[in-house]
A = this chain, B = another copy of it.
């Protein structure tokens, strides 16, 4: 078993030095917090994760959640995280005081959740979805819904879920058919099936509060006819008790990874007695859901970054302890005189470890940046500043979800490879992380869907204003980096990539302007890879600037080696990752059309 799953020093470096959490704390909303109090919070989360999460990560995989007699049975640590999570504010940390929260910045919350995800990615989802469901009620629900459900959720006594996917519709929410029929008693009668419901049932919550997308009888077709309902597993009986609400646990999906995190199939209203309460206005369900979606997508990126981080530290530890092979002599022969070398000294192993490092630390930095934008757009007073950060968040969110997921999976695979044959064996944790992380490119909108969102919606939104704002941020980083002699060359490279990006975008947008949307979006996924890669080069250059600044000014809170290692990692990203964008640009600007369905049968 690996000894460590994160590098706490790097997390704090990114949080305080690079992303300047203390600036955020200047906002009125956060007056009760300071660096010392948040440090104490993070330390307590680390201590909790060391004790209650990390020791069970392998066991939760080996003894997965299962379905029995109409219910799902999960590992007992689910009970611990629900209860302790409620007590520690892990569910309601970012909520208003009024809603029972701690008014914590999203940045600090993200850092705390990252620690938990890295310790044991099977557990934090249980509180995370409870948070998400409660947040929907807090923001859009009536006072009655708030009073009835939210306190029990943020205490961790009741679980919360998001019920979007249906068997026949998958990602296509336009085709949701779960039905809501109005009654005269203020509630609706709900009927339908929902699948892939994370945390949808288990023995450690007294009740479950499902936030369900459904279509009110007679509603318009497509996404404009979807409403949001609170559908509890047990409903209040009016006398302070609870009675069953005709919500059935049909099955628990058995999965490749995250096997301790249950994924249920729920049936609503099989017996015609399932009651649901409308959240906010009719037909606005998808809008509400998507307002909350940014948080969910930050959470997915964060989880993937966390698994990649844990995998990096596990393979790093192995590489530092495992002797194997020899260094090469100047004649190109293996040196048989001296003993075996540690595998960390082989360049190919270092290459794999550095790739893991740039992906995992870079992903964490991106996720914290998104959290910072989130905090700024929520708390800034000036409307145009508020809008600026809202737009920046909207633009980067598909990458925040996708880059850690896609590249994190590749990084974990490198981690497995570092261990050679042992990496494939269940005695080591890498094979589990390889399975666990594979859901992240699918969660909360697949990579294909995120890519269409990025290219088809976010780039063009408000006449490209979000893109202009992001470009300005990147330009500023380039200017700052140019001040340092040994960063200037990287600043120059990023500047060139910015120009290339503009070229690629104007080529692609040409298709949209001609009304050929299918062609416009057909290579959205390679575009995501292209744009995400360049965004990460920016993220790394920013990390390097802060390191360089500390080295030069001497205002060091870390060791010299620590700062140098961050600059080295940036260089690694620019040498080994960034060049991929040249080929991607060629793909994206190739006139040949090969993936749009035509009359020819291609799959023979």
Contact = CB atoms under 8 A, between A and B. Distances in A.
B351 A256 contact: no
A8 B167 CA distance: 33
A253 interface: yes
A535 interface: no
Interface in A341-356: 344-351, 353-354
Contacts of A345: 597
A30 interface: no
A451 B348 contact: yes
A7 interface: yes
B583 A347 contact: no
A595 interface: yes
A595 B325 contact: no
A238 interface: no
Interface string A255-274: 11100000000000000000
B420 A446 contact: yes
Interface string A486-518: 000000000000000000000000001001111
Contacts of A187: none
Interface residues of A, number: 113
Contacts of A596: 347, 350
A388 B221 CA distance: 67
Most chain B CB within a 10 A radius of its CB, from A253, A438, A559, A583: A583
A442 B7 CA distance: 28
Interface string A229-262: 0000000000000000000000001111100000
Interface in A189-235: 195-196, 221-222
A182 interface: no
Contact of A256 (B346, B426, B521): B426
A569 B423 CA distance: 34
B256 A340 contact: no
B583 A579 contact: yes
Nearest to A578: B583
A187 B325 CA distance: 31
A102 interface: no
Contacts of A420: 170-171, 442, 446
A604 to B, nearest CB: 5
A222 B171 CA distance: 57
Given A354-B602, A417-B446, A325 B172 contact: yes
B327 A256 contact: no
Contacts of A255: 424-426, 431
Interface stretch (A44-52, A103-111, A137-145, A328-336): A328-336
B590 A222 contact: no
Interface string A100-143: 00000000000000000000000000000000000000000000
B562 A595 contact: no
A595 B575 CA distance: 11
Most B CB within 10 A of own CB, among A170, A416, A426, A604: A604
Interface in A421-459: 421, 423-427, 431, 434-435, 438-439, 441-442, 446-448, 451-452, 456
6 contacts: A256-B426, A330-B516, A332-B512, A416-B438, A420-B446, A579-B586
Given A348-B525, A564-B600, A575-B587, 9 more contacts: A9-B604, A254-B425, A255-B431, A256-B424, A344-B603, A350-B597, A526-B576, A562-B604, A565-B602
